[in-house]
Structure 1
Amino acid sequence: MPTPILVVDDSAMARKMLIRALPANWDIEITHACNGIEALAAYRKGKADVMFLDLTMPLMDGYSVLEVLQKEGLNSYVVVVSADIQPLARERVRQLGAAAFVQKPVKASDIEIILREYGIAL
């Protein structure tokens, strides 16, 4: 059975680049979201065992998504994907429950390392 993956970014190009960086042999079903509101709706429909989440988006940013997930006790493996590499941003997303942080532009090798650390068989 494919793993439900949610790719959340307001940029279609960024979503495409991230999807290209995912392991080719990983059995997945990908859902896209352009903002945090769409991301939470997709999560609630079971589309996000693993979520790749941008921080800066309109309507609802990635920080707010993480806050809702934490507050409601929702369980998803969240990898934050952001150009904001400041230590405070990294620390804040960790406190909000993100499992990992990847800098944009995403490298396939970085994604694979993170997934293997999580225990996902590729």
Structure 2
Amino acid sequence: MTRILLIDDSRYARSTLKQALGEGYQYLEAADALSGLELYFLEKPELVILDLTMPGMNGLEMLAQLKAIEPAARVIVCSADVQEFSQQEALRLGAARFLAKPIAPEHLRTAVSEVLEREA
């Protein structure tokens, strides 16, 4: 079963992502970037869905560290921080997609399917 790591400091946001994606995935969850990095390297999920705005290490910092160590990591950034700089920086650092919150469930499902299929 495909494992997806959800990294977001909001429990509600993680729950919303799981509901939007539905069954058929195994979900791993982290409430901050540092815990997310640790969980990624322990579990090696097929996909990470990452928020940018979190206390401590932010999502861009976490993405840079993850991709430096694991260039093949598949990451979708899903954030309410929709500044042009944030979007461009996330993509430059290696995110496969940048999705603005709130996101329509069908857009999330499409992005996840495309990233998993394209990079499989």
TM-score surpassing 0.5? yes
After superposition, residues 70-89 of structure 1 pair within 5 angstroms as 70-89=67-86
1:26-78 residue CA offsets vs partner (Å, 9 max, x unmatched): x2111110111110011001242111100011121101111101221343210
1:116 and 1:13 map into 2 onto residues whose CA distance is 23
2:25 and 2:91 map into 1 onto residues whose CA distance is 25
1:45 match: secondary structure: helix
Structure-1 residue corresponding to 2:97: 100
The answer as to whether partners of 2:32 and 2:57 remain within 8 angstroms in 1 is: yes
1:65 and 1:117 map into 2 onto residues whose CA distance is 23
- What amino acid is aligned across from residue 104 of structure 1 in structure 2? K
After superposition, residues 1-122 of structure 1 pair within 5 angstroms as 2-22=1-21, 24-25=22-23, 27-118=24-115, 119=117
Q: What's the TM-score once normalised by structure 1's chain length?
A: 0.88
The answer as to whether partners of 1:9 and 1:35 remain within 8 angstroms in 2 is: yes
Q: What's the TM-score once normalised by structure 2's chain length?
A: 0.89
1:92-118 residue CA offsets vs partner (Å, 9 max, x unmatched): 000111000111112211112212322
Share of identical aligned residues, percent? Answer: 33
1:115 and 1:14 map into 2 onto residues whose CA distance is 16
The answer as to whether partners of 1:79 and 1:101 remain within 8 angstroms in 2 is: yes
Unpaired segments ≥5 residues, structure 1: none
2:83 and 2:3 map into 1 onto residues whose CA distance is 30
Higher share in helix: 2
Q: How large is the Cα RMSD of the aligned pairs? A: 1.5
- What amino acid is aligned across from residue 98 of structure 1 in structure 2? A
1:103 and 1:11 map into 2 onto residues whose CA distance is 15
The answer as to whether partners of 1:17 and 1:106 remain within 8 angstroms in 2 is: no
